[in-house]
Amino acid sequence: MTEYAVRAENLSKHFHLNAERHTSLKARIVRGRLPRGEDFWALRDATFDIERGSTFGLLGQNGAGKSTTLKVLAGIYRPSSGTVIVDGRVSALLELGAGFHGDLTGRENIRLNGAILGLSGKQIGAAMDKIVDFAGIGEFMDLPVKIYSSGMFVRLGFAIAVSLDPEILMVDEVIAVGDEEFQRKCFDHLFDLRKRGATIVLVTHSLGLIRDLCDRAMWLEHGRIKQLGPATEVADAYIADVNAREVQAHQASTIEETAPADESMRPGSGEVRITSLEYLDQHGRPSPVLLAGAPCTIRMHYVAHESVHHAVFGIGFVHESGTNVSGPNSGRQGSWSVASGVGYVDFVIDELLLQPATYEVSTAIIDRGHTFDFADREFGLRVRGRGYQEPGLTRMPGLWREPVAVPQTATGPISAQEDVSAER
């Protein structure tokens, strides 16, 4: 066997698009030849290799050419130009119900798919119980698959794809249709396949899967390779591009989330009111989104209808799930005098610890228990990731140290105190 499971060179695939088609011979005779359609290039001049035993991820926006690439590699589409060499027995799960006959039962479809993959009846029979157990659809296994739900299709299709000892497994974004329990089972099995040396090609929109599961990744954009390399680097570049596109799309417009409700309806005596929030990125530029883990500034614009001598400004963040995440205020630095007129207060953040999500933002101005203004969740904030994302609502700063081996004795590990005593 070669060191590569897949080798593609200048691989391209185009489709001929017609706006309309004749539906009968009569229509063809009466209406004549239809206008010539256009050629759509779903994949263009792609050159890449996939090492044997590695996991390779395909990512990109919808319509970028990911599924087309996978179908060309699986042999479902013939390339329009270029060459592709796939060295190994391929098992693929590309779309719901692919390769299934609706009138056959789940058990009969297992035999059909096994035969298509080139397995003997004896091999299929040996794997039958394993597939049935993995799919976990119970009595539905002996019913026609045309009555299956989308989740049951995925369960059966994935069980067949991974249980027939594939050398190369190709999976499109269909696992996401399954429930949480089945998704965990799928990913555990993919990890096990990796340990056994199988090659996995995965199309997914989950950057977490790209980082955690894949060795290398390819980012497609409009059918062309945008970036190819280590999975983490490609995922980081992709999310940075998505963030930049979002910022650019909103750059010229007013950020609607910063517009508050009617101030007169808010609690508070009203001597000072917050009029708007402005989000500044690490370069001090207004931005419709903030990046998790990056420096930023939240600028609170206010209007003071009269001077006040003691004012504390506060801000609160409520996660989209309804959880109150944080509520910092300026009281740790004392209270400030505010002259009448308009102005702003900056809350400067060295590293934004909020995780990517949409937040409702509250603001308040108080004086030793007296409330001048309180805007309860009147503002919005979008936080986006820029790389590796930890689970949870906030990041936890800290430094991990390398593992330290504990010395062993005949009776067991030496405790820290015993180790110190031995050194003395």
Mean pLDDT of 381-399: 82
Whether residue 150 has pLDDT greater than 50:
yes
In a domain? residue 407: no
Same domain, 232 and 363: no
Instruction: Please report, in angstroms and rounded to a whole number, the separation of the first and last CA atoms in the chain.
Output: 58
d(CA 225, CA 242): 16
> Of all residues in the chain, what percent carry a pLDDT higher than 70?
84
Structure tokens at 322: 């309804």
Same domain, 335 and 208: no
Same domain, 173 and 274: no
Domain CATH code at residue 17: 3.40.50.300
Same domain, 292 and 240: no
Coil, strand, or helix at residue 418?
helix
Mean pLDDT of 125-135: 83
Question: What pLDDT, on the 0 to 100 scale, is given for residue 59?
Answer: 93
Question: What pLDDT, on the 0 to 100 scale, is given for residue 117?
Answer: 67
In a domain? residue 290: yes
**CB of 330 within 8 A of CB of 270?**
no
Question: What pLDDT, on the 0 to 100 scale, is given for residue 408?
Answer: 82
**Inter-CA distances, 64 with 67, 201, 239, 422, Å:** 8, 16, 15, 63
Whether residue 424 has pLDDT greater than 60:
no
In a domain? residue 116: yes
Same domain, 32 and 149: yes
Burial state string for 146-179 with b = 16 or more CB within 10 A and e = fewer than 16: eebeeebbbbbbbbbbbbbebbbbbbbbbbebbe
Whether residue 164 has pLDDT greater than 80:
no
Q: From edge to edge, which strands make up the β-sheet containing 341-349?
A: 272-280, 296-304, 341-349
Question: What pLDDT, on the 0 to 100 scale, is given for residue 131?
Answer: 84
Domains identified in the chain, total number: 2
Same domain, 232 and 302: no
Which amino acid, one-letter code, is at 274?
A: I
**Inter-CA distances, 161 with 101, 144, 154, 271, 323, Å:** 16, 19, 10, 68, 41
d(CA 342, CA 274): 10
Same domain, 322 and 372: yes
In a domain? residue 414: no
Question: What pLDDT, on the 0 to 100 scale, is given for residue 273?
Answer: 94
Same domain, 237 and 261: no
In a domain? residue 395: no
Other C-beta atoms lying within 10 Å of the C-beta of residue 145: 23
Question: What pLDDT, on the 0 to 100 scale, is given for residue 256?
Answer: 43
Of the residues 368, 384, 400, which one is the last residue of a structural domain?
Answer: 384
Same domain, 126 and 145: yes
Question: What secondary structure, in 3-state letters, does 348-411 show?
Answer: EECCCCECCEEEEEEEEEEECCEEEEEEEEEEEEEEECCCCCCCCCECCCCCCCCCCCCCEECC
Coil, strand, or helix at residue 287?
coil
In a domain? residue 46: yes
Instruction: Determine phi and psi for 311, rounding to 5 degrees.
Output: -140, 135
Same domain, 272 and 163: no
Structure tokens at 171: 């999976």
Question: What pLDDT, on the 0 to 100 scale, is given for residue 16?
Answer: 76
- What is the domain extent for residue 324? 256-384
Whether residue 183 has pLDDT greater than 90:
no
In a domain? residue 154: yes
Same domain, 232 and 286: no
Global pTM value: 0.70
**CB of 117 within 8 A of CB of 89?**
yes
259-268 contacts at long range (C-beta below 8 A, 24 or more positions apart): 260/375, 260/378, 260/379, 261/375, 261/378, 263/373, 266/373, 266/374, 266/375, 266/376, 267/371, 267/373, 267/374, 267/376, 268/365, 268/371, 268/372, 268/373, 268/374
Coil, strand, or helix at residue 278?
strand
In a domain? residue 408: no
Domain CATH code at residue 265: 2.70.50.60
Which amino acid, one-letter code, is at 155?
A: R
Same domain, 74 and 120: yes
Mean pLDDT of 366-375: 91
d(CA 138, CA 48): 42
**Inter-CA distances, 174 with 121, 122, 203, 312, 397, Å:** 28, 29, 9, 52, 35
Which amino acid, one-letter code, is at 136?
A: G
Question: What pLDDT, on the 0 to 100 scale, is given for residue 257?
Answer: 43
